[in-house]
Structure 1
Amino acid sequence: MQLEPRAKILLKTLIERYIAEGQPVGSRALSKLSSLELSPATIRNIMADLEDMGFIASPHTSAGRIPTPKGFRIFVDTLLTVQPISEKSVKSNIQHSLQIGQPQKIIANAAQMLSSLSQFAGVVLAPRHEQAFRQIEFLRLSEKRILLVIVSPSGDVQNRLLLTETDYTPSQLVEAANYINRNFSGLQLDDIRMRLHAELQQLHKDLSKLMAAAIEASNEALTDDSEHVVISGEKNLLGVSDLTYDISSLRRLFDMFEQKTELMKLLDVSSKATGVQIYIGGDSQLVPMDDMSVVTAPYQVNGNIVGTLGVIGPTRMEYHRVIPIVDITARLLSSALSHPEHGIKNDTD
């Protein structure tokens, strides 16, 4: 919808003031802040037109106006000026947290950095675990208790505890691990199951049970989505009155972080988009709360989009500050995960 220049300036001014103070904005304040040489009557008429178009609303307790979800939408799409931040200092902070390490640790650190820099909640949709393994090992913990160590092709390490009916010797565990690694490394787990059914019948009965249990445990480990969404800084949102103004809102906030289903759906959709995306509650059905916004960006591994990261905060957030934080973090996480050692060099170029 096209707005005349004066209406654009007044709407932008109103929303920026509302983001800064969280209070309805009156015509007198707009007259001073907008630098437009308009009479109070003219400003009131323009405000009335913006209200008729659904961009602002008048709370019954105040003569001022507040932006609607539709108003926030046009603001972030056409009126927002994203001011450049000191990318060098931000990049240095993020680089420090994304040092060489296992992918899940780097992803957790990225979520923490998003939360720390934005002062809201940081979230990362992690890549789904690969349905194959590079290597497994058995470690005897005690009688009939074995630790299964699973290494994915990307170097991701997962552990599972196996409780067995037989007390296996260390040499038997080495024999079983060598057999699996020699014959099944790099294969998809579904293919391994089919081969196991035929081949393990020819092996020692006790080792057959151990190997079958190891493959099932590997499948559970590599398909477990419980840690697929990594969230950091949830407590930051407890201090945001826009999201916790009553018990019902507080409960919805906790349910969203506990269940993660709605977040996974939003992040999965945003991973199919290009660049930074802004989802506004009340405007997007993907956002579970009307007063919440989510700013996201996809990240890549070796040129392929594998996940999404973002910041969860109130609709009344400083978008001009959050957007570059999300964009920079996505680019640096892509670099970190694409690096052969899962890290990035500590430079500021």
Structure 2
Amino acid sequence: MAQPIHELTDRARDVFRIVVDSYLATGAPVGSRTIAQLSGLNLSPASIRGVMQDLEEAGLLAAPHVSAGRMPTETGLRLFVDGMMHAMEPSAQERATIAAQADSAGPVEEALAGTAAALSGLSASAGVVLVPKREPVLRQVSFVPLSGTRALAVLVGADGSVENRVLETPGASPAALVEAGNYLTARLSGLTLSEARSRILREIGQERAELDAAARALVERGLVMWSEDGDHRPVLIVRGQARLIDDAASHDLDRVRQLLDELEGKEEIARLLESAQDGDAARIFIGSENKLFALTGSSVIAKPVRALDGRVVGVVGVIGPVRLNYARVVPMVDFTAATLARLLG
């Protein structure tokens, strides 16, 4: 276990900070001569080497190669993030870039995707947003025949969103498809899917629905399919995966391939982000601290998005290399969470 930060001497703390700052900026190990030249510590390279050796024995630094200098371990980065990091607030331009995406007109999911892309660009990492499945308010429903036994069910939301599903329609004529679509649109416009389902199934149960048997079966099947398909699954948006392939990654293509595969496995990422919902502060997973990215040298910063009443309405964050600029990116994620709270709350 590493020493607590307060147990380090002032000299060790100064050398450790310089090594971490340099590594986060360049991704390269730092040698004693470089520290002696740049630090202004008034220490000889030999003295600095002694301090770095002590820090290595404490588990805070490591030497990837002989005579290659030192770089922080994951334990060292954790110590730095928890006890030494000075946060840098986002600039006015960075805040404006994020806010412009969140406030853009159009469907909510487009605004979320734009916000994730903006966060990705500003942090040089992959931007991620996780929100609960939002039920659209219905505007129009139609059924388009595809073949003798299949149709395309099209649901248009009041926000302009469109969802399509292929539906089995044995025995349903083109006239029944039109009748079912007209019936649903006339009665359900302005309702959410769950409200629509309750109303229609109640009318059908009470035999008040003015539909023939084929259209009635089609309406029931379509509503049940949409309700089950939603299943309250979260919507996960990932933007900027290509930013994870840095110069160091080009020498480790297996790691890159595994990382991109894991980003495609959205269920695992969703569970990781959901684990950050407790508490108010951003949660930071460094390297092997999270099992999902343990082998890929990646870190995750995630922050819950809370509505004014305290409800968690989403999670926003970034996935990037272990040498993320934590001091800059953590406040950026904080600001993005506050911005999305206004959109989702």
TM-score, length-scaled by structure 1: 0.82
Runs of 5+ consecutive residues of structure 1 not aligned to the other structure:
339-349
1:18 aligns with 2:17: no
After superposition, residues 116-135 of structure 1 pair within 5 angstroms as: 116-130=121-135, 134-135=137-138
Give the fraction of aligned pairs with identical amino acids, expressed as a percent. 31
Partner of 1:67: 72
Distance in 1 (CA, whole Å) between partners of 2:270 and 2:295 is 15
Partner of 1:217: 225
Alpha-carbon offset, residue 289 of structure 1:
3.5
Alpha-carbon offset, residue 232 of structure 1:
0.6
Partner of 1:265: 271
> Aligned match of 1:232 in 225, 230, 239?
239
- Shift of the 319–50 alpha-carbon distance from structure 1 to 2, 3 Å rule, reads same
1:9 aligns with 2:19: no
Alpha-carbon offset, residue 275 of structure 1:
2.1
Partner of 2:260: 254
User: CA RMSD for the aligned pairs?
Assistant: 3.2
Partner of 2:115: 110
Distance in 1 (CA, whole Å) between partners of 2:23 and 2:189 is 61
Contact 2:141 2:156 in 1 (8 A): no
- Shift of the 31–146 alpha-carbon distance from structure 1 to 2, 3 Å rule, reads closer
Distance in 2 (CA, whole Å) between partners of 1:181 and 1:320 is 48
Alpha-carbon offset, residue 331 of structure 1:
1.3
> Aligned match of 1:96 in 90, 97, 100?
100
- Shift of the 73–113 alpha-carbon distance from structure 1 to 2, 3 Å rule, reads same
- Shift of the 44–143 alpha-carbon distance from structure 1 to 2, 3 Å rule, reads closer
Distance in 2 (CA, whole Å) between partners of 1:29 and 1:184 is 63
Larger relative contact order (C-alpha < 8 A, sep ≥ 6)?
A: 1
Alpha-carbon offset, residue 108 of structure 1:
0.7
Contact 2:132 2:232 in 1 (8 A): no
SS at match of 2:133: coil
SS at match of 1:148: strand
SS at match of 2:289: coil
Distance in 2 (CA, whole Å) between partners of 1:104 and 1:70 is 37
1:315 aligns with 2:322: yes
Distance in 2 (CA, whole Å) between partners of 1:137 and 1:256 is 37
- Shift of the 207–327 alpha-carbon distance from structure 1 to 2, 3 Å rule, reads same
Alpha-carbon offset, residue 234 of structure 1:
0.8
Distance in 2 (CA, whole Å) between partners of 1:183 and 1:316 is 48
- Shift of the 198–237 alpha-carbon distance from structure 1 to 2, 3 Å rule, reads same
Runs of 5+ consecutive residues of structure 2 not aligned to the other structure:
none
SS at match of 2:89: coil
Contact 2:262 2:292 in 1 (8 A): no
> Aligned match of 1:166 in 173, 177, 181?
173
- Shift of the 296–158 alpha-carbon distance from structure 1 to 2, 3 Å rule, reads same
Distance in 2 (CA, whole Å) between partners of 1:310 and 1:51 is 31
Contact 1:134 1:186 in 2 (8 A): no
Alpha-carbon offset, residue 207 of structure 1:
2.5
- Shift of the 143–242 alpha-carbon distance from structure 1 to 2, 3 Å rule, reads closer
Alpha-carbon offset, residue 11 of structure 1:
0.6
Contact 1:243 1:253 in 2 (8 A): no
- Shift of the 247–182 alpha-carbon distance from structure 1 to 2, 3 Å rule, reads closer
Once structures 1 and 2 are overlaid, which stretch shifts more, 253-262 or 214-223? 214-223
Alpha-carbon offset, residue 80 of structure 1:
1.4
Distance in 1 (CA, whole Å) between partners of 2:214 and 2:37 is 83
Deviations 1:198-240 (CA, angstroms, capped at 9, x unpaired): 4469864212211211112212442374x721111111222x1
- Shift of the 291–196 alpha-carbon distance from structure 1 to 2, 3 Å rule, reads farther
Contact 1:115 1:311 in 2 (8 A): yes
Deviations 1:148-195 (CA, angstroms, capped at 9, x unpaired): 31649x996534344533223544532344456799965496x77985
State the aligned residue count.
331
SS at match of 2:288: coil
Alpha-carbon offset, residue 305 of structure 1:
1.4
Deviations 1:43-73 (CA, angstroms, capped at 9, x unpaired): 2222122111110012233341111100111
Partner of 2:284: 278
Alpha-carbon offset, residue 20 of structure 1:
2.0
Contact 2:138 2:191 in 1 (8 A): no
Distance in 2 (CA, whole Å) between partners of 1:26 and 1:48 is 12
Partner of 1:208: 216
Alpha-carbon offset, residue 7 of structure 1:
1.2
Contact 1:301 1:337 in 2 (8 A): yes
Distance in 1 (CA, whole Å) between partners of 2:248 and 2:278 is 29
Contact 2:180 2:218 in 1 (8 A): no
Distance in 1 (CA, whole Å) between partners of 2:131 and 2:190 is 29
TM-score, length-scaled by structure 2: 0.83
Once structures 1 and 2 are overlaid, which stretch shifts more, 106-115 or 139-148? 139-148
